[in-house]
Amino acid sequence: MSKEVDRRVLLPTNVRPTHYTLTLTPDLVNFTFKGSEVVNLNINENTSVITLHANDIEIKSAKLVNSTLKTNQGYRAVNIAKNAENQTVTLTFPQEIAAKTTATLHIEYTGILNDKMLGFYRSSYKDQDGKTKYMASTQFEATEARRAFPSWDEPAIKATFDITLIVPAEMTALSNMNVVSETRLGDGNKEVKFARTPIMSTYLVAFVVGDLGYVESFTTGVHNGGKSVTVRVYAPKGEERHGDFALKIATSTLEYFAEVFGIPYPLPKCDMVAIPDFEAGAMENWGLITYRTTAVLFDQKASDARFKKSIAYTVSHELAHQWFGNLVTMEWWTDLWLNEGFATWVGYLAVDKLFPEWEIWNQYVTEGFQRGLQLDALRSSHPIEVPVNDSSEIHQIFDAISYYKGANVIRMLSAFLGEEVFLAGVKRYLMRHKFSNASTDDLWKALTEESGNDVSKFMTLWTKVAGHPVLTVEETGNTLRIRQYRFLSSGVASPEEDSTVWWVPLGVDLGPTDTQHEIGTVVLTQKEMTLVLPEKCDFYQLNARKTGVFRVNYVPERLSKLGEAVKKGLLGPSDRIGIMADAGALAASGYGKTSGLLNFIKNFEDEDQYIVWCEINSRLANLLNVWFEQPEHVYQGLLKFQRQLVSKLVTKLGWEYSDNDDYLTTMLRSLVIKMAGKANDPDTVREAHRRFHSFTKRNEESALHPNIRGVVFEIVLSYGGGNEEFDSILKYYSEARTADQKVIALTGLGFAQSEDLIQRALKFSTSEEVRNQDIIYAFNGLQANRKSRRALWNYVKENFYMLHDRYAKSLAIFENIVKFGVELFASEDDIKDVEKFFSNKNCKDFERSLQQSIEKIRANAAWVERDSKDVEEWLRTNGYIE
């Protein structure tokens, strides 16, 4: 056993559960619950002591009945000792029980339906009549099942569950399995019993209680062993009709995954529930998937189209988990990436199958692919397989490494082996480990057997070592000298940091051959290599289609030639995106010059692809964010460059949306109007104000299409908007019919320019009018607005203890509060300020994200110091400043 395993804080192995019989009675008036459980145990060692997890629950009694006893009286616990630090309770019994027997543990307990969005918690909402109502839901990943029932709350300790809920007779009760009986009780309640679950981990158990409606569909069963699956989307009554889009996605995706994985979906039903208060995007509880409202409900008349893609992807991601995570579960949280990285990759795979016209893999190159690379480029990052020793560390690895670098590595391997071979290996892995647990090595073994390649040999470093390479390419005639270095966004790696030699499939593209590009299969397996191109080969690129997890640093002349190739239409969207992203990352880290990035972007004046414009916007927004306190004439020069780049396309697309527009055109129109507005394009700002006032003053709903409302809110408040406009957006927020429209209004408020309005936006973000989960949208707007960025950080400092008390239980949210407060600063003074502020705080639960934010400030500061003159000279030379 490795040292990493030895350091894990695990429960004793003297007993192990095989089955839980669990009865819960939630009280949605007093926000408490009663629980009763019987746990079937295998006794592995002679023992009189049982330790299991319990947190924030009060055990009233505990009794142990041994199978060797002739009576059912059993032994009552003589001592019940809590360990708050380890979140355990130790039960001591008067007599020892013999090994190799079985027993049942009977526990009665009570708990609180908290408002922290974890464990067994309450969520509130307004019904159709404006009355406040409550529902109860669960969020157990990673270690919160212990808040709902005493348990062996570790992923490898699987058991089966019989769950019963006693709830008000008029309410809907849901759990992982289908209802087998429903009995009216004499006190106005009903007892709802559910079928026995498959063997599963505690973090996947779930229950929901509320006044819910649903929409329903069924799979065909063609790829599911002939068995049709009942699929439902639940929501507070009156909202369920907005679940139709997610329902269609889920029904099709369940059938697709049953086919792709070669294993039927093992449960008779799949419920998806919109929860008004929800920390994450969604949670893959087996058979009862819970969602943030914006991730599952879509109003065809009132919702912004950008939420459509996120719903399709999120639903597909969570359904992928029903196999990859639920059926086969990681052995321990170190292998979290097996759940999340794979579900990310296969979620995109499903969306591509359902909506090929969305070009989702090209979108992935500018979204998930870059997010994984960006976090992985920090010294304060971590390997995909990261040692996790106790529960306080687990939540900190639910990040872009586990999700997106994990998906990047899978995508690279799938491209190398071939998707068909790769998925065949995945089938082998799932069949071998279904209803059990597995590790990364188990996946590599199955893929090795299927492909005939020693996958572990060349993939192990990708998961066990932090970082990824940048390949520098030197040209001598038709000979390329390619060398790999570890890429760091904050500067060149030291020799000690640069000791890894990655396996790198180069993806060499030698340009058009008839209508196809010739993709090479050359692999770099050493620090450097020489590659000889064909004679008179004037075009090449590495990492074609951008499936390899690395950056490419071309000589400036080659980058210019690739820019010419853009103009000639010789590069596909993913390649245009990838080369630009590399140029941006290399400029920010010092490997290249920012002027080189700007020169490359200048080639895109005739670009018409939404996905490519996403990357252009990302790179220019990053530059503007870091340059936000540079001399005003330089900042305005950058805005002028963006204005001229985008103005032609804004004129071409206009402001009107048509039912005949395809999805990507719809998204492109919203994006370029946003970019033109941010760049203070006079015509765009004028039109935004005109439409805003028609919408707010004359109630002309058609003046502001839902796709453009958030964009217009930002433009109007950024340029010329004052108290009247702020109040109008605030009114829209309070009256908005859908959660996604509330989100865009809340974000828009953050673009206020006057100090008074900025302070109003800050105070509103933490008021009772804003759900705890939604503070991140408010802070996102305030962070994006350069006028409010410092006010936001001051607000975080002044209200730190209030924010910590309110959000620390929802650590993903609290981490984002800290990040939004600081990570776009760009000076050494800011680093000192941040470090001083946190020097006397207990940062254990968010230390990793804090260090990552500080490192980002350091990288930003170095970038500005290094390239501020370079950018100013480029802007002046190209006529963007006088």
Region class of 466: left (phi > 0), else alpha (psi between -120 and 50), else beta: beta
284 is in an annotated binding site: no
Which stretches does DSSP call E strand in 54-195? 57-66, 75-76, 79-83, 88-97, 101-112, 119-126, 132-139, 160-168, 172-175, 179-184, 189-194
Give a three-class secondary structure readout of 539-555: CCECCHHHCCCCEEECC
Report which residue type is found at 391: S
On the 0-12 / 13-18 / 19+ scale of CB atoms within 10 A, 627 is: buried
Q: Which residue out of 141, 284, 318, 450 is catalytically annotated?
A: 318
Partners of 200 in beta bridges: 159
Using alpha carbons, list the distances in angstroms from residue 715 to 69, 721, 750, 763, 864. Answer: 75, 8, 11, 22, 27
Contact 500, 461 (CB under 8 A): yes
- Which distant-in-sequence residues (6+ apart) come within 8 Å of 520 by Cβ? 506, 507, 508, 509, 510
**Rounded Cα distance, 588 and 595, in Å:** 11
Q: Which of 584, 508, 588 is nearest to 548 (CA)?
A: 508
Contact 779, 766 (CB under 8 A): no
What's the helix, strand, coil split of the chain in %, to 5?
45, 20, 30
Contact 429, 454 (CB under 8 A): no
Give a three-class secondary structure readout of 11-51: CCCCEEEEEEEEEEEEECCCCEEEEEEEEEEEECCCEEEEE
Bridge pairing between strands 230-236 and 269-275 = parallel
* Whether residue 528 lies in the annotated active site: no
Coil, helix or strand at residue 333? helix
340 is in an annotated binding site: yes
Coil, helix or strand at residue 826? coil
**Rounded Cα distance, 812 and 805, in Å:** 14
Largest Cα–Cα separation, the chain: 96
On the 0-12 / 13-18 / 19+ scale of CB atoms within 10 A, 654 is: exposed
Task: List the strands of the sheet with 79-83, edge to edge.
Answer: 47-53, 88-97, 79-83
Contact 727, 733 (CB under 8 A): no
Using alpha carbons, list the distances in angstroms from residue 377 to 450, 493, 612, 638, 858. Answer: 32, 10, 23, 26, 13
Is the sign of the CA dihedral 75, 80, 81, 86 positive or negative? Answer: positive
755 is in an annotated binding site: no
- Which distant-in-sequence residues (6+ apart) come within 8 Å of 852 by Cβ? 375, 378, 380, 381, 819, 823
- Which distant-in-sequence residues (6+ apart) come within 8 Å of 122 by Cβ? 28, 31, 113, 114, 115, 134, 135, 136, 277
- Which distant-in-sequence residues (6+ apart) come within 8 Å of 647 by Cβ? 676, 681
Residues in the chain: 882
Binding residues: 317, 321, 340
Binding residues for Zn(2+): 317, 321, 340
Q: Mind telling me the catalytic residues? A: 318
